[in-house]
Copies of this chain bind each other. A is one copy, B any other.
Amino acid sequence: MKLTLAEPKYLKESISIISELVTEAKFKITKTGIELVAMDPANVAMVIFKLLASSFVEYEVESEVRLSLNLNNLKQVLRRAKPNDMITLEVEDNKLNVTLKSKTKRTFSLPIIEMDEREQKIPDLSFPMTITTNSDQLVEAIEDVDIIGESVSFIGERDKFIISAEGDMSKAHIEIPADETTTIVAKADKVKAKYSVEYLKKMMAAGKLVPIVAIQFNKDYPLKLEYKTVDRLMLSFILAPRVENE
């Protein structure tokens, strides 16, 4: 296996974001790309990552490879990559070799770890509503509610998306109307659900990589955030709901 990226950004930033949710994970490297599906230790969030073969300048994979790594270690190494470095990934002697090449050649060897865990299955979810908006707009809204409380309500209507939170005394209410930057595809008139702000803050960081996010949710049902760039990257997150006792 030998994989070379000309642009470190997608791998580097994705691993940095994922490592905030999961510290150890199993990568599956197939002819179509690098994949990772992992649950966070609290079993509240799932991350699904795929970096497509087409984003590599060199992509040699003879047979499917499974590779478990400590993501903090990997993140630290990838952080050392400068924007113009070529990154090569190779497996040798039960190590992953990450080579950063510019004028100098810098090689880091990371241990491949053992993970017994069975493969994570991506749940089959269906949603009554899909809101597609600017990633930055979601970032702003989550930062807004972060000053108020630990959980946030997502309320989808046919013509607007509302994000709101209530603290002991204070409240926040953000209205994003359907317009040229926000589209709402709805099979229901109104959908309302509640999620953890802390997890959302970690997930929405993917807005640095992909300018558009698709948001799907339903009452007492998981949320799905999907960040996608054609032929390159897919980074999506599934988050368990906060069930309201009311």
Contacts and interface: CB of A to CB of B under 8 A. Distances in A.
A20 interface: no
A44 interface: no
A-B interface, 10 closest residue pairs, ranked by CB to CB distance from nearest? A111-B169, A109-B171, A76-B147, A106-B174, A107-B173, A105-B175, A104-B176, A108-B172, A80-B144, A110-B170
Nearest to A168: B111
Interface of A: 73, 76-77, 79-80, 95, 103-111, 137, 140-141, 143-144, 147-148, 169-177, 179, 181
A67 to B, nearest CB: 15
Q: Specify how many copies of this chain sit in the oligomer.
A: 3
A170 B105 contact: no
A55 to B, nearest CB: 25
Contacts of A110: 169-170
A137 B73 contact: no
Contact of A106 (B104, B108, B109, B173): B173
30 contacts: A73-B170, A76-B147, A77-B147, A77-B170, A79-B147, A80-B143, A80-B144, A103-B181, A104-B140, A104-B141, A104-B174, A104-B175, A105-B174, A105-B175, A106-B141, A106-B173, A106-B174, A106-B175, A107-B171, A107-B174, A108-B144, A108-B148, A108-B171, A108-B172, A108-B173, A109-B170, A109-B171, A109-B173, A111-B169, A111-B170
Contacts of A108: 144, 148, 170-173
Nearest to A77: B147
Contacts of A148: 108
A90 B4 CA distance: 57
A133 to B, nearest CB: 10
A169 B103 CA distance: 27
Contacts of A103: 137, 179, 181
Nearest to A161: B104
Nearest to A75: B147
